[in-house]
Amino acid sequence: MDTLEDVEIVNRAGPLSLQDHLNTFAEMTMVLATKIVIAVIVLWISLWILKRFINFIDAAMTKRKVEITLQKFLLNIINLALKAIAIIIFASMLGVETASLIALLGAAGLAVGLALQGSLANFAGGIIILFFRPFKAGDVIEAQGYIGRVDEIQIFNTILITLDNRKVFIPNGLLSNGCLINSFSFKTRRIDMKFGVSYSDSIPHVKQVIERVLSADERILKEPKPDIFVAEHGSDSIILFVRPWSKTEHYWDVYFAIHEQLKLAFDEEGITIPFPQRDVHLYPVEKATQ
């Protein structure tokens, strides 16, 4: 079979007949068909290897217990990037000029990036949150003026369900660059409470009543032991700090229950919970002499 170079030499030697044109067309068709077949085979093999590679990465991430949202996102990014490389190789094998195509895609990506700066900041924030995991779905966090349970961590936003059952969307850029409190970082929490009693009440008796109420609640941990101490001599009462420990999920239940149970116990024991009061003294004023 003659090559394209041979056909070009014949063309320079003189005018070609119809048969020569047909032969040239057939040879060019065969060359192009061969390139297409080889390129398709290479593309098919590349996609097959790509699929196996993605499955391997997926299994490795699952074994290491990577956050499911981050896992899906990274797999999609890797899949798209490798498929784009495979398509570029396919186009290159067909003789398509890929340098200009890559430059065009790069310029388009730059333009899109400049137009979506805010979204890209949230996108980067989502990656940081999913990678470093300052919190996870199900945790209760306080951030950007909201307190709620993390319902879902998306790429651009984090969804909170507040205590009064409202759904709040917070951009990940703010969460990754701002301060937040994760109430579920540890399995146990200390419950800080304070109570005021009258100056006329016996402090040892008050402490004894408080200890009895705390020990009766099974949700309060035995270790560490609750702290009960006088913290302040207030203007109208003695202030005691009460600090028991409980499991994190029982925090609010214990907090509200202890306030109610101590009020009832104080009433039964005759312990006074004073309220602010003022003594007003009136003095007669003699009229000024004329």
- Rounded CA-CA distance 12/31 in Å is 21
**pLDDT averaged over every residue in the chain:** 81
Q: Between β-strands 146-153 and 140-143, what pairing exists: parallel, antiparallel or unpaired?
A: antiparallel
Please give the C-alpha separations between residue 198 and each of 234, 240, 264, 278, in angstroms, as whole numbers. Answer: 10, 11, 16, 15
pTM beyond 0.85, yes or no? no
Q: In the prediction, which pLDDT does 219 show?
A: 93
Tokens of 98: 């890929």
SS3 149: strand
Q: In the prediction, which pLDDT does 191 show?
A: 94
The three-point CA angle 203-251-258 to 5° equals: 35
- Rounded CA-CA distance 252/162 in Å is 14
Neighbours of 266 (CB within 10 A): 19
Which residues of the chain carry a pLDDT beneath 50? 1-4, 7, 9-10, 13
- Hey, what domains does the chain have and what are their CATH numbers? 4-115 (1.10.287.1260), 134-182 (2.30.30.60), 188-269 (3.30.70.100)
The three-point CA angle 17-21-26 to 5° equals: 145
The alpha-carbon radius of gyration of the chain (Å, integer) is 38
Tokens of 13: 């030697």
Tokens of 54: 């993605």
The three-point CA angle 142-187-191 to 5° equals: 65
State pLDDT tens for residues 3-41.
445 545 445 545 556 666 666 767 777 777 777 788 788
The CB-side HSE value for 60 (13 A sphere, CA atoms) comes to 8
Q: In the prediction, which pLDDT does 77 show?
A: 77
Which residues, 6+ apart, have CB-to-CB distance to 153 below 8 Å?
Answer: 67, 69, 126, 129, 130, 136, 137, 159, 172
In this structure, are residues 239 and 230 in contact, taking their beta carbons and an 8 Å threshold? yes
